[in-house]
A and B are shown apart, each in its own frame.
Chain A
């Protein structure tokens, strides 16, 4: 069993640390992109990648209270939005949405809470998100990796 007292002892400090180390990016083209001819200049304005994931959560109070948290992969989960840079650091996190919440709802809530990209900059995201000025998403139902496309003689 985890010593809960210890959780409460370290939590305030770690939440302060969070404010110091989980930060939105600056307005620069990332080295990882600038130095890769496959990515530059196409993704010069990409400042990171984001995705939603499910983390387990424990909800007391019976079935009615638990229902919104019962995600599509089974079990009680929260839908957590996470944005990262290309050194694999978290830049933004929004936790605490019910497992049944749609990704679009979670990101809209994040935007209200201050998740942003500087004008013209964007995060790359999967097709669970809208293609918007802040989130560049792949075409749906299209083959990826240009070599595959060349094989079937198809333009992206």
Chain B
């Protein structure tokens, strides 16, 4: 499993656990709707710390975020903003991984 998948899984669990809020947000002011996102991430972390089993109802297949669907424009902007030094560091990590694999 890629290291990166952890964030997609976490977001999937979070959305699933708090899916009730889809219906509940409608009449709240914008600012409150945004604050509720922060509040729910706090509740999520709290559950994950004290009783992670309560997050378990989530099924892998329900995770809409697992796809590799990256917006073309996002990817283009991302490449433009990349850092030469970090590109070298990435090459070095890839080289080390390849050598240890061979």
Contacts and interface: CB of A to CB of B under 8 A. Distances in A.
Does B associate with A? yes
Interface of A: 1-2, 4, 7-8, 10-11, 14-15, 17-18, 20-22, 33, 39, 41-43, 46, 48-51, 53, 55-59, 72, 78, 80, 82-84, 86-90, 93, 95-96, 102-104, 122, 124-133, 136-140, 144-146, 150, 155-156
Nearest to B2: A144
Given A124-B4, A133-B85, 9 more contacts: A33-B3, A42-B93, A49-B3, A72-B71, A82-B14, A83-B7, A126-B70, A131-B90, A139-B90
Nearest to A17: B42
Interface string B3-38: 111111111011100001011111110101111111
Contact of A128 (B22, B32, B71): B71
B46 to A, nearest CB: 6
Given A42-B96, A42-B97, A11 B46 contact: no
B61 to A, nearest CB: 17
B39 A15 contact: yes
Majority secondary structure of chain B interface residues (helix, strand, loop or mixed): helix
Contacts of B65: 51, 53
A137 B78 contact: yes
Interface residues of B, number: 66
A27 B44 CA distance: 23
A53 B97 CA distance: 30
B81 A104 contact: yes
Contacts, number: 191
Interface of B: 2-11, 13-15, 20, 22-28, 30, 32-46, 48-49, 65, 68, 70-71, 73-75, 77-83, 85-87, 89-90, 93-98, 100-101
Given A88-B9, A126-B4, A11 B32 contact: yes
Contacts of A56: 22, 25
Given A58-B33, A128-B71, A50 B43 contact: no
A11 B6 contact: no
Nearest to B46: A21
